[in-house]
Amino acid sequence: MFKEGTIAAIATAQGEAGIGIIRISGENSLIIVDKIFTNEKKMRLVKATPRKMYYGNIVDPEQDKVVDEVLVVYMKAPFTYTKEDIIEINCHGGIVSIRRILELLFRYGARAAEPGEFTKRAFLNGRIDLSQAEAVMDLVSAKTDKGFDVAMNQLEGSLSIKVKKMIEEVVEMLAHIEVSIDFAEEDIDKVTLKLLEDKCTKVEGELLDLIKTAETGKIIREGIKTVIVGRPNVGKSSLMNALLKEYRAIVTEVAGTTRDAIEEQLNIKGFLLKIVDTAGIRETENIIEKIGIERTKELFNKADLILFMIDASESLTKEDMQIIELIKNRKALVIINKTDLENKIDLFSIKDLIAEKKIVKTSLKEGRGVDKIEEYIVNMIYEGEVKTKENLLLTNARHKNALECALASIKDALESISSEMALDFIEIDIRIAWECLGEVTGETVREDIIDQIFSNFCVGK
Amino acid sequence: MKFLAGEYDIVVIGAGHAGCEAALAGAKMGFKTLVLSISLDAIAMMACNPSIGGTGKGHLVREIDALGGEMGLNIDKTLIQSKMLNKTKGPAVHSLRAQADKTKYHIEMKKTIENQANLDLFQGEVVEILVEKNTVKGVVTRTGAIYEAKTIILATGVYLKSKIFIGEVNFDSGPNGTFPSNFLSDNLKKLGCNLRRFKTGTPARIDKNSIDFSKMEVQQGDKEIFPFSFLNEEIDIDQSPCWLTRTTAETKKIIEKNIGRSALYRGDTEGVGPRYCPSIEDKVVRFADKETHQLFIEPEGLNTNEMYLQGMSSSLPEEVQLNMMRSVIGLEKVKIMRPAYAIEYDCIDPLQLKPSLEIKNIEGLFSAGQFNGSSGYEEAAAQGLIAGINAGLKIRGKEPLILDRSEAYIGVLIDDLVTKGTNEPYRMMTSRAEYRLVLRQDNADLRLTGKGKEIGLVSDKKFERTKTKEIQTKEEMERLKRTTVSPERANDSLKKAVSSLLKGGTTLYELLKRPEINYENIREIDTARPKELLRDTIKQCEITIKYEGYIQKQLRQIKQFKKMENNKIPEGIEYSKIAGLRIEARQKLEEIRPLSIGQASRISGVSPADISVLLVYLEQRRRKKEV
């Protein structure tokens, strides 16, 4: 459903940067930011002079804790990009602090901007002239489609499974309530307050758990388990060094997945990669021969991402083929190194073997292609192709926003239950929870409930 | 030989529940109206269950009445039992249902139609709609009579190419032994209507004298009867009971053994049936773990022994039906008077309709009821009324009456049909209404009577009554907020009502918020209560006060909803030329041609991104016009 309201989004590129800017637009911008902004003079932001920068802190009022030091500027409607009240918060870059601030904004009444929404508002409010309209439409449609794809990809993982399960539970409750209202005289199991209370409490718990994962940012804390593989001399160490050099990785030796492997941590554009370096296995040895097929498989299975390196200057060997076989159903990036030498690889034949895997060509010796590797890895994370094994992954603030809305409604429903309200009142809040959950998966359809009624209950004349 | 038989403003085809409302509405609005029916003995025939109302449906009847329709008045005249369903639940889902004397229902409605000024009634089968330049000109009957018309309303019910199925036997027939209408379908197809087959069914009628009621549970009506019509204050009759019984393990066995002989399972039928009234064989197969099913036995009227066997609709062969029924508790010696049957018929895909119920691309042709893919007397009547009103408004050159989803169940019903379409005969349910809490049966008059008055359907008497209720409620709410009571004055009554005692003063308004407190048990505290308060006023006040928080929440949602609804889409948009729309969205928008952004957003296959694109496009178009 298309919505209005006050919107917020990160205006700067995501990832590691000096500063990050969050932009808020809409009639409640000032009131919302005022609730989380404070400075030494205890000034109220609602009294701010437009276009003046204010130094202060963003605080979490519930915990009375400073989140970040910021500069805030207020731009008064209609002299802004969207012709609405706009506030920009300049904070320290880095995904954690930006996300915390964004979440606070959502808590106090803003909602996540749809892709392209600032521009759309600018146009609808008459800020952008007609000649640019086509471009705006392209932007809105293209960006939204992409955003949608990203969201869908993310949703194929554990988050989606969890949310879908919750939706099922909620729809089941709704169907049970509705059937006892709309088919009042049928002999069906009556829905009891106790039953609803149990189910709501269960969903409440699940929501709390899921929201908690967002707070710690699993993907950041846990890191993405990455394995570099390839036969001897293909350039694994060079790759490692190239990545390490650039990102000042903290090198720690921990017990890895195999006795012989070392785990390194490095930070790529705000994401933590834990690289299990099979370079720990001596370069002269064939990995598979050394640790055996089963253990290699196990190593691969535990990895979130595999960086598979091929030597461009030699034709494929038996070991390459074995690895290709093993990474068939794994998330992997194929790196063809040594492109500075004469090419001996029939790229076409590899493409068939490693269908749908992304391929990067590098010459680590000449320092070419490392940036490409980083870019690919980051994209794979953003697009949800790569994710940690654990129940990641509320990295998407919009999802979190929606889940919090669902949680609030379930709490309202529990309150109605405890004050013994009639079923149709309890239903109101459960239905809102269902709609919020649907915003995560994009799958709330009224007919679902009716379908459930007819498939689960024997009703009719 | 064709001959000119008459000229009318409105011609209504069919005199079932939709046709009657349409015809009466047109005539009451002052238009010369003709209603044609295959049989005058089938006017307002209740071909299936002998009751009006129920959940969702009861709301529709109250709304029909509030707008100035006939159904509420007619059932009030002919009811033999009344019940308010869902009384233990919130006021929004309290639903009236009445058992009707079917014959009397038909006779009373026929009388009303016969006595209505501007309205002619004629027995005849329409075989052709005359259309010139995409505009209706008239109808032709099977006997060659041409009736010219400015507008035409199709209310053909289940009569189009209808076919009845009983086990291996099937034959062309209308419902309940009437003639089918075998010619009009082909004509409609030629005119571009996209027709399809739907199916429904009805259980057997059985002889009262052959039933052993001593083995069944009696079902009495409510002590106090709430009339359907806002014009009636009370109804005082001796009510007839219904009975409750169950099928047995033996019933299940008989069905399982003979399932292959059911028309449904033989695959003889092509129509799509409704999920909410499965046949007994369907229930047994789909809910195999259920050993027995409940059945209600309901009288068909006061002057007949025929009883309706609710819960046992079937397309099994007649002799299997008899065996199956005789395995039911109390029906061991039952005699069937009419067998159960399934019936299949042609109807239109309602996506071809505008929200006014006019068929797109055929100017002046409206449709209503089962022809539009709905099911049920009440759903039909609601659409009939709206089609009748809009045919009249069209002749007047006025904007059509389109009720939105926040105004009426009728709005939900029609919006669902014309925006989402339906894959089965559509039945109203309260769960389809997202603003259920404000669409109550107790406030239908407050929501709609003003509109009915404006159109010219509502009598002064009814309008005055609604006004009184409205003003009284407003004044009474203010009085309750104003009136404070002291603990000394209140605590005796509160004690009697098992409510916590007051420590300081409070208002009557605050007291009424307590779940256990109502107008009755604070009578003694409330010394200044006006004498002339309507029962309805008191109910409005109680509901508004007790559920204030929830109602406010819903009103906020409605405000958002209205913004989208009021954002109108001009006619003639070429969706295929809007670059940013996805192909599916383009096709859907092109087909449905929504009137507002709100309606567009409810079309399946149109995403929020498409809506954004559409908004930008419309703004662009608006500015181009300004230049």
Span B235-261, average pLDDT: 95
**CATH of the domain spanning A7-113, picked from 2.30.130.10, 3.30.1360.120, 3.40.50.300, 3.40.228.10:** 3.30.1360.120
Q: Which among B529, B193, B602 has a CA at the least distance from the CA of B360?
A: B193
How is residue B403 written in tokens?
């009720």
Q: Name every chain B residue with its beta carbon within 8 A of the beta carbon of A434.
A: none
What does pLDDT average to over chain B? 94
What tens digit of pLDDT does each residue of B7-16 get?
A: 999 999 999 9
Q: Is residue B278 part of a domain?
A: no
Long-range contacts of the stretch A420-423 (C-beta < 8 A, 24+): A420/A193, A420/B515, A421/B90, A422/B88, A422/B89, A422/B90, A422/B93, A423/A177, A423/A180, A423/A181, A423/A191, A423/B89, A423/B90
Calculate the CA dihedral of residues B186, B191, B196, B202 and round it to 10 degrees.
-70
Query: According to CATH, where is 3.30.1360.120 located in chain A?
Result: 7-113
Give the pLDDT score at A5: 85
Is A137 close to B579, i.e. CB distance below 8 A?
yes
Pair B299, B221: CB distance under 8 Å: no
Q: Which residue among B286, B608, B616 places its CB closest to the CB of A136?
A: B616
The count of other CB atoms within 10 Å of the CB of residue B107 is 15
What percentage of chain B has pLDDT greater than the value 70?
100
Q: What is the pTM of this model?
A: 0.77
Name the strands in the sheet holding A86-92, side by side, starting at the edge strand that comes first in the sequence.
Answer: A37-38, A53-60, A65-75, A86-92, A19-25, A7-10, A111-112
B-chain residues near A2 (CB < 8 A): 564, 597, 601, 608, 611-612, 615
Cβ distance of A124 and B48 shorter than 8 Å:
no
- Residue B589 tokens read as 């928008």
Choose between A244 and B23: higher pLDDT. Answer: B23
Residue A262 pairs in a beta bridge with A277
Asked whether residue B9 is assigned to any structural domain, the reply reads yes
In contact, B192 and B62? CB cutoff 8 Å: no
pLDDT in tens, chain A (461 residues): 345 789 998 877 655 556 788 999 998 999 999 999 998 888 888 888 999 999 999 998 888 888 888 999 999 988 888 889 999 999 886 666 787 888 889 888 888 887 677 877 887 777 766 556 556 665 555 434 433 334 334 444 556 678 888 998 999 999 999 988 988 888 777 788 899 999 999 999 999 888 776 554 444 445 677 888 887 778 877 787 777 654 433 333 333 333 344 566 666 765 667 776 664 444 445 655 566 667 677 777 778 888 888 888 888 888 888 888 888 777 888 898 888 888 887 777 777 777 777 888 888 888 888 888 888 887 776 665 555 433 333 445 667 778 888 999 999 999 999 988 889 999 999 999 998 888 777 655 556 666 766 666 666 65
pLDDT for B458: 97
Between B499 and B185, name the one with better pLDDT. Answer: B185
For position A449, what pLDDT does the model report? 65
Dihedral of CA atoms B2, B3, B9, B12 in degrees, nearest 10, equals -50
Q: Which residues pair with A21 in a beta bridge?
A: A90
**pLDDT for the residue A138:** 57
Looking at A133-137, A152-156, B431-435, B457-461, which range is the least confident one? A152-156
- The alpha-carbon gap from A414 to the nearest alpha carbon of chain B, in Å, equals 14
ipTM over 0.90: no
* Model confidence pLDDT, tens digit, residues B25-76: 999 999 999 999 999 999 999 999 999 999 999 999 999 999 999 999 999 9
Span A224-382 CATH architecture: 3-Layer(aba) Sandwich (3.40)
* B472 and B580 both lie in a single domain: no
Q: Which residue of A has its CA nearest to B219?
A: A185
CB pairs under 8 A between A and B: 144
Radius of gyration, CA atoms only, chain B: 26
| Higher local confidence (pLDDT), B500 or A382 | B500
Residues of B in contact with A124 (CB under 8 A): 615-616, 619
Residue at B618 is within a domain = yes
Q: Are residues B50 and B175 in the same domain?
A: yes
CA atoms within 13 A on the CB side of A422: 19
Which one of B439, B455, B471 terminates a domain?
B455
Do B67 and B157 lie in one domain? The reply is yes
Q: Which of A343-352, B77-86, B351-360 is predicted least confidently?
A: A343-352
Mean pLDDT value across residues B352-378: 97
Residues of chain A with CATH 1.20.120.430: 158-216+394-456
SS3 A201: helix
Pair (B371, B349) in one structural domain = yes
Residue B302 has pLDDT above 60, yes or no: yes
Q: Minimum mean pLDDT among B233-242, B244-253, B259-268, B390-399: which range?
A: B259-268
Last residue of a domain, one of B455, B485, B503: B455
Question: How confident is the model over B554-580, as a mean pLDDT?
Answer: 89
- CA dist A126 → A129, A273, B419, B623 (Å): 7, 45, 31, 9
In tens, the pLDDT along B511-564 reads: 999 988 999 999 989 989 998 899 999 999 999 999 999 999 899 989 989 988
State whether A181 and B278 contact (CB < 8 Å).
Answer: no
Mean pLDDT, range B557-581, rounded to an integer: 89
Per-residue model confidence (pLDDT) at position A280:
43
> Per the CB < 8 Å rule, is B612 touching A184?
no
Work out the minimum CA distance from B565 to partner chain A, whole angstroms. Answer: 12
Query: In terms of domains, do B13 and B90 share one?
Result: yes
Kindly indicate whether the domain formed by A158-216+394-456 is annotated with CATH number 3.40.50.620.
no
Report the CATH number at residue B608. 1.10.150.570
Lowest mean pLDDT among A184-188, A410-414, B158-162, B176-180: A184-188
Mention every residue, 6+ apart, whose C-beta is less than 8 A from residue A209. Answer: none
Q: How far apart are CA B140 and CA B626, in angstroms?
A: 48
**DSSP letter assigned to residue B374:** B
Instruction: Decide: B553 and A428 in contact? Cβ < 8 Å.
Output: yes
From chain A residues 249-278, the ones with a CB under 8 A of any chain B CB are none
Which residue range is the domain that position B77 belongs to?
3-199+345-455
Both structure tokens of A412: 């309202």
Question: Same structural domain for residues B501 and B586?
Answer: no
Q: What is the pLDDT of residue A82?
A: 87
Residue B614 belongs to a domain? yes
Contact B295, B246 (CB under 8 A): yes
Structure tokens at A330: 């794994």
Report the pLDDT value the prediction gives residue B185, as an integer from 0 to 100: 97
Same domain, B513 and B380: no
How many structural domains compose chain B?
3
B475 and B444 within one domain = no
CA distance B130 to chain A (A): 38
Is residue B349 a part of any domain in this protein? Answer: yes
What pLDDT score does A17 carry? 59
Q: Which of B407, B435, B455 is the last residue of a domain?
A: B455
Token output for A270? 């705000």
Q: What is the DSSP string of A226-274?
A: EEEE-STTSSHHHHHHHHHHHHT-EE-----SSTT-EEEEEEETTEEEE
- All CATH 3.40.50.300 domain ranges in chain A, comma separated: 224-382
* Residues facing A20 on adjacent strands: A91
Best to test chain B binding among A2, A4, A419, A459 (most B CBs inside 10 Å): A2
Which of A63-77, B85-99, B381-395 is modeled with the greatest confidence?
B381-395
Per-residue confidence (pLDDT) for residue B343, from 0 to 100: 95
Task: Identify whether residues B13 and B129 lie together within a single domain.
Answer: yes
CATH code of the domain containing B509? 1.10.10.1800
Shared-domain flag, residues B63 and B191: yes
CB–CB of A181 and B55 under 8 A? yes
Which pLDDT value is given to residue A159? 67
CA A125 to chain centre: 31
